[in-house]
């Protein structure tokens, strides 16, 4: 009975001062919305990252060319070459896939349509290392690579860029930089990951690329695919050993190449995302506490305004405990409603942000429950003082309050 009366009178009072209640809980709304959005964005970003890593299939190290240094002085670029890739392939102690690559931009033409595209020179290993799968046709073979065949495998979205259909392109010739290449395969859609969009690109045998397009054996990169359970440190040491020998680097001299471990990179990114999310959530949490102070302020005003009402309730038999409870309920409901509105706004923000970034929409239920509970607790804590003040009012005096 009393519980219901407290809830009713709390809701009545919140409704009666709708604008004031809204402005009071605004800080709670913004705080909760920020917490929810940031936690959701962090979760969604990590999910997207997981999906990206899964796409690679195997664990993936990338080697890039760097600067040659002698005694701290740069002495020009030192490229990675096909010979480096062959040297890595000859290593038998590791179960790795060496995937050298090169990329150039070229104009591509099919019938009357043009596109500017990235032309990748791939070895047969590059496809499994990247986790690319064929949709129509086939991939090229090592034999065709050695024969420097003018064959091309294309990404799933190339056809629409050239204003035609994938099946229509299969076994047709396209002009790449003016030379004719036969489309032998079309990849499944991979989706863009970060700065790359493999669906828009062309893939030709690496030897075709070095001899016919780039005119050099200098590579853009060498990817090394290793099993998920491989000892990355040992693999990196082996790569270093081979490449230092290949590049004739003496003891004490710095490497003229870089090795990136993408999964390590992903871990770092995940960590950064989490720290960032925690930081923003912390700041948003402070705004909740600030909101709580606002609620306390308004509740104090409300207690003063309603002194007569409190006096009347006491005259009619309300005990100090009942009055205390009534005002605690009011402050708690005010903040909880703010929290619920905030969750809605935050979820909406997350939805917009996630669809904008093409991320999966992920919102931990615990975050929703947690932030509403936290707002309610903020209301409860900051309601204590005003509620105690109301409970302690002298009925005889407050009945005559003007």
- Least Cβ distance, residue 336 to other proteins (angstroms): 21
Distance CA 101, CA 217 (A): 10
Task: Name residue, tokens 């005990």.
Answer: 319
Q: Which stretch binds other proteins (CB under 8 A): 5-13, 132-140, 295-303, 330-338?
A: 5-13
Restricting to residues 358-387, which ones interact with other proteins according to CB under 8 A?
Answer: none
Measured from the CB atom, the residue of 12 and 373 that comes closer to other proteins is 12
Distance CA 80, CA 85 (A): 8
Restricting to residues 66-105, which ones interact with other proteins according to CB under 8 A?
Answer: none
Q: Which of 319, 305, 362, 240 is nearest to 16 (CA)?
A: 305
Q: For residues 355 and 361, is the Cβ–Cβ distance under 8 A? A: yes
Task: Name residue, tokens 């050239």.
Answer: 162
Please give the size of the binding site for other proteins, defined by CB under 8 A.
Answer: 24
Restricting to residues 216-275, which ones interact with other proteins according to CB under 8 A?
Answer: none
Q: Is residue 289 at the binding interface for other proteins, with CB under 8 A as the rule?
A: no
Distance CA 85, CA 87 (A): 5
Q: Is residue 305 at the binding interface for other proteins, with CB under 8 A as the rule?
A: no
Distance CA 139, CA 172 (A): 15
- Least Cβ distance, residue 392 to other proteins (angstroms): 9
Structure tokens belonging to residue 60: 């993936």
- Least Cβ distance, residue 14 to other proteins (angstroms): 11
Q: Which of 256, 195, 209 is nearest to 64 (CA)?
A: 256
Q: Which of 218, 286, 200 is nearest to 256 (CA)?
A: 218
- Least Cβ distance, residue 381 to other proteins (angstroms): 25
Distance CA 10, CA 21 (A): 11
Q: Is residue 352 at the binding interface for other proteins, with CB under 8 A as the rule?
A: no
Measured from the CB atom, the residue of 68 and 313 that comes closer to other proteins is 313
- Least Cβ distance, residue 319 to other proteins (angstroms): 4
Q: Is residue 52 at the binding interface for other proteins, with CB under 8 A as the rule?
A: no
Element (H, E) at 19: helix 18-56
Q: For residues 79 and 402, is the Cβ–Cβ distance under 8 A? A: no
Binding to other proteins by CB under 8 A, coded x per residue (else -) over 306-345, reads --xx--xxxxxxxxxxx-----------------------
- Least Cβ distance, residue 28 to other proteins (angstroms): 24
Residues that bind other proteins (CB under 8 A): 1-2, 4-5, 9, 12, 16, 308-309, 312-322, 394-396, 399
């Amino acid at each position: 009975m009393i519980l219901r009366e407290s809830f009713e009178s709390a809701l009545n009072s919140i409704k009666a001062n709708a604008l004031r209640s809204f402005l009071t809980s605004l800080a709670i709304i913004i705080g909760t919305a920020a917490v929810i959005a940031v936690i959701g964005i962090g979760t969604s970003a990590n999910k997207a990252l997981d999906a990206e890593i899964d796409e690679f299939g195997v664990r993936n190290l990338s080697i890039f060319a760097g600067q040659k240094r002698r005694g701290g002085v740069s002495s020009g670029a030192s490229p990675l070459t096909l010979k480096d890739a062959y040297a890595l392939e000859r290593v038998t102690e590791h179960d790795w896939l060496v995937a050298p690559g090169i990329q150039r931009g070229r104009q591509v033409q099919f019938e009357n349509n043009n596109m500017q595209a990235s032309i990748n020179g791939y070895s047969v290993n590059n496809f499994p290392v990247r986790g690319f799968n064929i949709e129509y046709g086939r991939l090229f073979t090592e034999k065709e690579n050695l024969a420097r065949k003018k064959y091309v495998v294309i990404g799933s979205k190339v056809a629409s860029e050239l204003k035609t259909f994938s099946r229509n392109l299969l076994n047709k010739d396209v002009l790449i930089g003016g030379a004719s290449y036969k489309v032998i395969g079309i990849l499944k859609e991979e989706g863009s990951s970060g700065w790359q969009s493999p669906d828009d690109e062309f893939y030709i045998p690496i030897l075709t690329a070095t001899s016919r397009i780039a005119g050099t054996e200098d590579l853009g990169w060498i990817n090394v695919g290793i099993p998920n359970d491989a000892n990355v440190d040992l693999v990196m040491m082996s790569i270093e050993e081979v490449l230092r020998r290949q590049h004739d680097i003496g003891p004490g001299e710095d490497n003229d190449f870089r090795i990136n471990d993408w999964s390590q990179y992903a871990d770092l990114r995940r960590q950064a995302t989490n720290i960032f999310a925690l930081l923003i959530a912390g700041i948003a949490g402070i705004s909740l506490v600030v909101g709580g102070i606002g609620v306390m302020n308004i509740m104090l005003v409300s207690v003063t305004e309603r002194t007569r009402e409190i006096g009347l309730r006491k005259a009619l038999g309300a005990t100090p405990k009942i009055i205390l409870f009534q005002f605690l309920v009011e402050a708690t409901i005010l903040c909880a409603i703010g929290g619920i509105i905030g969750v809605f706004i935050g979820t909406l923000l997350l939805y917009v942000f996630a669809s904008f970034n093409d991320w999966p929409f992920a919102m931990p239920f615990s975050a929703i429950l947690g932030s509403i509970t936290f707002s309610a607790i903020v209301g409860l804590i900051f309601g204590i003082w005003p509620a105690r003040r109301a409970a302690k009012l002298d009925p005889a005096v407050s009945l005559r309050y003007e």
